[in-house]
C-alpha cells in the first residue's frame, strides 16, 4: 500500500513518521520550502512517545510518483483549494482520499472536485505543532486517528490502512459511523476554539474567571443544539467527555486556532464556526455566544488581511 501524505506539517508529519516507523510505504507531497527543509534536516518529530528523525520520501507538485492507494490530506481548510489542484495528477477512480481536516464542510468540496474517487472521513485527535525551524512537536498524550468509509464501501482497504499502524504508538481506530464522529469533534472544537480565541487564554484561565465556565458550557450547548438539528446529536458519553475536558480546572488546553492568531496566520474560522453559524440560521436556532465568537474571528481576519494584503 502506497500512502501519499499531502503536507509534512504538524499533523501530516506526525502520523507519517509513525507510519514509516511501522514499515509503511509513505511519500510526502510538499511545497518547495518544506522540501528543502526535509532534504537538509530530515523529518524531525519530538514526542514523549519517542522521537523520530530520518530522511523520508518527498515530492513536490507535478513530480512523477507511483500511483498512491491512499491520499491523506493533512492541511488547514484555507489551503484545501491548492491541495486539490496538487493531487489531481495522482487521483483516479480507484484512489482513496482521506482528509484529516477539522469540520465537515470540506467533504462536499472534495467530492465535487473528484466525483469518481472514494472519499473517507477522518478525525485526528492530537496536540501537535510545527516550529519555525521545521520540527514537529507533540504537545500532549493525544495522538489518535479515527477513520472510515462514509457509504459502506469495501472494508478491505480500511483494514489494510488500519494494519499499517500496527506497531506504532498511534491509537488508530476504524469507525462504523465516521460522519457522526466528525460532528462530535466539530462540536468540541468549535467550543474550544470559540472560547480560547475569544478570551485569548487557555481553558484553565477562562475557568478561573467569574463567568468563564458559564460561557464555555453555554457555547457547548449552542453547538450541540445545531448538531441535533442536523440529525447528529452527541451521545451521552460524548457529552460527558466534552464537559470534562472543557471544565478541567488548571487545563492549559487551547485550540490550534489560537496559536494561529498569535502567529498572525489565517484561521479556519469560516470552515468551523462559520459553517455552524450558517446551519444555525438555516435551522432557526439562536446562538448568541457562537455569533460573538465568530464575529470576533471575522474581525481578526479582516484586520489581518488589511495588514497582509
Which CATH number covers residue 129?
A: 3.40.50.720
Which residues make Cβ contacts (< 8 Å) with residue 308, sequence separation at least 6? 264
What is the total count of domains within the chain? 2
154 has pLDDT over 60: no
Residues 93 and 188 grouped into a single domain: no
| pLDDT, tens digit (0-9, with 9 covering 90-100), for 17-36 | 999 999 999 999 999 999 99
Residues 151 and 192 grouped into a single domain: no
End-of-domain residue from the set 176, 201, 221: 176
Residues 167 and 186 grouped into a single domain: no
End-of-domain residue from the set 147, 176, 205: 176
Residues 214 and 293 grouped into a single domain: yes
Q: What percent of the chain has pLDDT over 90?
A: 83
Confirm if 92 and 72 have CB atoms less than 8 A apart. no
Residues 14 and 137 grouped into a single domain: yes
End-of-domain residue from the set 116, 146, 176: 176
309 has pLDDT over 70: no
Residues 130 and 197 grouped into a single domain: no
Residue 155 pLDDT level (bands cut at 50, 70, 90):
low
Residues 154 and 198 grouped into a single domain: no
Strand pairing report for 135-149 and 118-130: antiparallel
Range of the domain at 259: 181-307
Residue 67 pLDDT level (bands cut at 50, 70, 90):
confident
Among this protein's residues, is 137 annotated catalytic? no
Q: What mean pLDDT is predicted for residues 295-306?
A: 94
Q: Which of 92-96, 134-138, 298-302 has the lowest mean pLDDT?
A: 92-96
- Which pLDDT does position 306 carry in this prediction? 87
Residue 296 pLDDT level (bands cut at 50, 70, 90):
very high
Cell numbers describing residue 1: 500500500
Q: Alpha-carbon distance 66 to 232, whole Å?
A: 39
Residues 112 and 37 grouped into a single domain: yes
Residues 197 and 257 grouped into a single domain: yes
Q: What mean pLDDT is predicted for residues 128-144?
A: 92
86 has pLDDT over 80: yes
Confirm if 169 and 175 have CB atoms less than 8 A apart. no
Mean pLDDT taken over the chain: 93
The catalytic residue among 76, 108, 173, 185 is: 185
119 has pLDDT over 60: yes
Residues 236 and 153 grouped into a single domain: no
Residues 40 and 151 grouped into a single domain: yes
Confirm if 184 and 251 have CB atoms less than 8 A apart. no
Which residues make Cβ contacts (< 8 Å) with residue 38, sequence separation at least 6? 8, 28, 30, 55, 56, 58, 134
Residues 201 and 255 grouped into a single domain: yes
Q: What is the CATH number of the domain that holds 260?
A: 1.10.1040.10
| pLDDT, tens digit (0-9, with 9 covering 90-100), for 164-185 | 999 999 999 999 889 999 999 9
Amino acid at each position: 500500500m502506497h500512502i501519499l501524505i499531502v503536507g509534512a506539517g504538524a499533523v501530516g508529519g506526525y502520523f507519517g513518521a509513525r507510519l514509516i516507523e511501522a514499515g509503511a510505504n509513505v511519500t510526502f507531497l510538499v511545497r518547495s520550502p518544506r522540501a528543502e527543509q526535509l532534504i537538509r534536516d530530515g523529518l524531525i518529530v519530538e514526542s514523549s512517545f519517542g522521537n523520530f528523525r530520518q530522511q523520508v520520501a518527498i515530492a513536490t507538485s507535478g513530480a512523477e510518483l507511483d500511483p498512491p492507494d491512499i491520499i491523506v490530506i493533512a492541511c488547514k481548510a484555507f489551503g484545501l483549494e491548492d491541495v486539490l489542484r496538487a493531487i489531481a495528477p495522482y487521483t483516479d477512480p480507484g484512489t482513496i482520499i482521506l482528509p484529516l481536516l477539522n469540520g465537515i464542510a470540506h467533504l462536499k468540496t472534495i467530492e465535487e472536485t473528484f466525483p469518481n474517487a472514494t472519499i473517507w472521513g477522518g478525525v485526528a485527535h492530537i496536540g501537535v505543532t510545527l516550529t519555525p525551524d521545521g520540527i514537529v512537536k507533540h504537545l500532549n498524550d493525544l495522538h489518535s486517528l479515527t477513520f472510515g468509509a462514509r457509504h459502506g464501501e469495501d472494508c478491505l482497504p480500511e483494514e489494510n490502512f488500519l494494519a499499517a499502524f500496527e506497531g506504532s504508538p498511534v491509537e488508530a481506530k476504524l469507525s462504523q459511523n465516521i460522519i457522526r464522529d466528525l460532528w462530535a469533534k466539530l462540536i468540541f472544537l468549535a467550543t474550544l476554539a470559540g472560547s480560547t480565541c475569544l478570551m485569548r487564554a487557555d481553558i484553565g484561565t477562562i475557568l478561573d474567571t467569574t463567568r468563564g465556565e458559564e460561557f464555555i458550557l453555554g457555547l457547548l450547548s449552542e453547538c450541540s443544539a445545531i448538531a441535533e438539528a442536523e440529525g447528529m446529536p452527541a451521545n451521552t458519553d460524548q457529552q460527558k467527555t466534552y464537559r470534562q475536558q472543557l471544565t478541567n480546572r488548571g487545563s492549559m488546553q487551547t485550540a490550534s486556532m489560537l496559536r494561529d492568531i498569535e502567529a498572525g496566520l489565517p484561521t479556519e474560522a469560516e470552515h468551523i464556526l462559520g459553517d455552524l453559524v450558517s446551519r444555525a440560521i438555516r435551522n432557526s436556532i439562536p446562538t448568541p455566544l457562537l455569533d460573538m465568537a465568530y464575529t470576533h474571528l471575522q474581525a481578526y481576519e479582516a484586520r489581518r488581511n488589511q495588514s497582509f494584503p
